Amino acid sequence: MHRPLAISDILARGPLGRLGNAVVLLGEVDSTNSYLRRSADDLPDGTIVAAEYQTAGRGRLGRVWRSPRGSSILLSVLLLEPADSPIHKLATTLAALAACEAIREAAGIDAAVRWPNDVAVRGRKVAGVLAESTSVSPARESVNGEGAARGLIIGVGINCLQQSGHFPAELAPTATSLEIESAAAVDRARVAGALVGRLDRRIAGLAAGGAAGLLDEWRAACDDVGTRVELCCDGAVFRGTIVDIADNADLIVQLEDGGRRHFAAATSSRHW
């Protein structure tokens, strides 16, 4: 049995700039995002929650995230930001980039971001991001003191130690793990520390005014352009070829039946 993550794993790089003001390690929880949503009024900015197992792990649009106990990084962070802070719109982008960087650093594997919120290795999903906004008490101030705060929860799940038989039949063709993709043993603790460090650095960079180039970095790390895609939007199915990602992060698709259409992540679901 693989050992549970420890605080020393999560904070392997020592004190961080924004994250780590509190660290909560759970053996089991419904989901780390849900935990932070329930507890946002009682926890400090920069709180990190990690779990060994989720009984009700969630992805976008209510999708289920399944992971055997002790096999993955299941981690969420809480930020207290003004409602108009750019990080609310860019959280998924920066977290996906941080996950790619952590995978490369800790496991030596090149990963690519996949619109709108996933990370892939050789075309298979290895990680996902779920960013959610939540209200907090009006008495709580944002971390920079600029008025009332809104809670931002950024959850990241990375498949680390799964073997092919761990994935349900419906996910087996499209899912993978670092252990499957790596020629060497994967150190889950090292991946966790790298992820937290990269997230912290990305958050600090955005706060310092680094929003302008973030989407360009995301595009450079994305291998979607030129690939075929099937999307559900407004109750209909659309098929076509991805031609670009817009400045507002919409996916631009040349449709099979002619014309181009923009698809927003908030209202569109992509088939793997």
Q: Output the domain CATH number for residue 237.
A: 2.30.30.100
Whether 88 maps to a domain, the answer reads yes
pTM: 0.93
Number of domains, the chain? 2
34 and 57 fall within a common domain: yes
User: Which of 92, 63, 56, 31 lies closest to 269, judged by CA?
Assistant: 63
Supply 196's token pair: 């937290």
- Sorting pLDDT into bands at 50, 70 and 90, what band is 105? very high
Q: Output the domain CATH number for residue 159.
A: 3.30.930.10
Judge whether residue 227 has pLDDT over 60: yes
Give the mean pLDDT of the chain.
93
The SS3 assignment for 174 reads coil
Q: Residue 170 has what pLDDT?
A: 86
138 and 241 fall within a common domain: no
**What phi-psi label fits residue 263: left (phi over 0), alpha (psi between -120 and 50 degrees) or beta?**
beta
252 and 130 fall within a common domain: no
> What are the tens digits of pLDDT across the range 55-78?
988 765 556 677 899 999 999 999
Contact by Cβ (8 Å): 30, 54? yes
195 and 245 fall within a common domain: no
Q: Residue 1 has what pLDDT?
A: 46
Contact by Cβ (8 Å): 119, 126? yes
**Residue 37 burial class via C-beta count within 10 angstroms: exposed 0-12, middle 13-18, buried 19 and up:** middle
**What phi-psi label fits residue 7: left (phi over 0), alpha (psi between -120 and 50 degrees) or beta?**
alpha
**In angstroms, rounded to a whole number, what is the distance separating the alpha carbons of residues 86 and 3?**
37
> What are the tens digits of pLDDT across the range 128-137?
999 999 999 9
185 and 103 fall within a common domain: yes
**In angstroms, rounded to a whole number, what is the distance separating the alpha carbons of residues 37 and 77?**
10
The SS3 assignment for 227 reads coil
Comparing 34-48, 138-152, 172-186, 205-219, the range with the smallest average pLDDT is: 138-152
Q: Which domain holds residue 256?
A: 225-270
Contact by Cβ (8 Å): 70, 186? no
Which positions ≥6 away from 64 have C-beta within 8 Å? Answer: 56, 57, 58
**In angstroms, rounded to a whole number, what is the distance separating the alpha carbons of residues 227 and 205?**
31
